[in-house]
Structure 1
Amino acid sequence: MRKLLIVFGVLLSVVACKTVDKNTAIKAVEQTNGNYTSIGTNFTADAAKSTSDMADAYTAMRIGDTINAKMVGTVDEVCQSKGCWLKLNLEDGNQVMVKFKDYGFFMPKDIAGQEVVLNGKAYVNEVPVEEQRHYAEDAGQSAEEIEAIIEPKKTFSFEADGVLLKSE
């Protein structure tokens, strides 16, 4: 009995200490889908709204509103720390802050200027000062730019459960 407990304890220790490399997990879900690479949940690009259509949809929404959506746009900026968020420009001059559901995947850091199709939930929220400063730091902004952020900001956001990255 004592030997069984020791073996069980060692086995439990080995399993508990096992780490998973997120990059390996990401590669397992990437696959080519036509002219796109699929990251996260698989979906098709059909019926994706343009940035112009999404600008209209966001304008009609209030803080706290959420809609299911597919959206196509060009990446403006990517988190340079881990690839854990990206920004898309809308046709009306606003930006959409895109995060990934449950941090289940990250995007390559060098995709600014590339087309993506997002699948998930579009929503409008208010971002507190500290969170804005965190994103500014991730984006590599200067200390002066970060300190200039002094009030909460209404933002257009998107939680993507899947992304199609246009293949070059």
Structure 2
Amino acid sequence: MKNIFMALCLVFVIVSCKNNEEKKEVVETEVNEIAYVSFGEKIEAENALNVNEISEKYQNLAVGDTLQIKVLAKVNSVCQAKGCWMRLDLENDEEVMVKFKDYGFFMPKNIADRDVIINGKAYVTEVSVDEQRHYAEDAGKTEEEIAAITEPKRTLSFEADGVLLIEE
């Protein structure tokens, strides 16, 4: 009887010590982190409007109105003299002329066709003939193209206080 009791105790110990771990499935997700180079004030990439949204906002602005906003867009051109302005593509044959707050920072001259996130004030201006010619000269336009500028132009403008350049 003693042997039967010992056998039952041994079986009980073995059963109670059984490892009842549940199988856990580990799922790995790949996070695509985007790297940025920051210029001007520190800004975050979140909540940037796309070009369609900003185009809609500009349609509702009159000369003198301003709107604090953050935008993601592609760079069409940059000032080739110092990098003191850039033009962003709105994908509807319109561009946004971007200048930098208090000329506190400049952009690299070789970033055409790259994406940026800009933060600051969107507004509409009327640009004089002289100023248009100055920008055309900075952009490296020909003398014929510069001379063809004869009328003031309604311009979509932006004063950026911070820019994130998306690294490639």
Q: How do 1:26-105 and structure 2 match up within 5 A?
A: 35-105=35-105
Unaligned 5+ segments in structure 1 are 1-32
Higher percent of residues as helix:
1
Provide the rounded CA distance (Å) in 2 between the counterparts of 1:156 and 1:75: 14
Alignment RMSD (CA, Å): 1.1
* Structure 2 Cα separation of the partners of residues 141 and 34 of structure 1: 34
Q: How many residue pairs are counted as aligned between the two chains?
A: 136
1:153 Cα offset (Å): 0.2
AA matched with 1:108: P
What SS does the corresponding residue of 1:123 show, helix, strand or coil?
A: strand
CA distance, structure 1, for counterparts of residue 103 and residue 126 of structure 2? 20
For the pair 1:107 / 2:107, whether they are aligned, the reply is: yes
User: Quick one: distance in 2 between partners of 1:155 and 1:99?
Assistant: 12
Q: How many angstroms does 1:60 deviate by?
A: 1.0
Spell out the pairing of 1:133-144 with structure 2 (5 A cutoff).
133-144=133-144
Q: CA deviation at 1:34?
A: 5.1
1:146 aligns with 2:146: yes
Retained in 2: the 8 A contact 1:55–1:91? no
* Alignment check: 8 A CA contact 1:133 1:149 kept: yes
C-alpha distance in structure 2 between counterparts of 1:65 and 1:43, whole Å: 23
Structure 1 residue 43 displacement after superposition: 0.9
**Alpha-carbon distance, 1:91 to partner:** 2.7
Cα deviation code 1:125-153 (max 9, x no counterpart): 10000000000000000001001000100
Identity %: 56
Contact (CA 8 Å) 1:38, 1:164: kept in 2 or not?
yes
Runs of 4+, deviation exceeding 3 Å? none
Separation of aligned partners in 2, 1:157 and 1:150: 20
- Aligned residue type for 1:149: I
What CA distance in whole angstroms lies between the structure 1 residues aligned with 2:124 and 2:58? Answer: 7
Question: In structure 2, what is the Cα distance between the partners aligned to 1:133 and 1:91?
Answer: 24
Equivalent residue for 1:125? 125
Give 1 or 2 for the bigger CA radius of gyration. 2
Q: 2:37 touches 2:166 (CA, 8 Å); kept in 1?
A: yes
Structure 2 alignment gaps of length 5 or more: 1-32
Work out whether residues 40 and 161 of structure 2, in 8 Å CA contact, stay in contact via their aligned partners in 1: yes
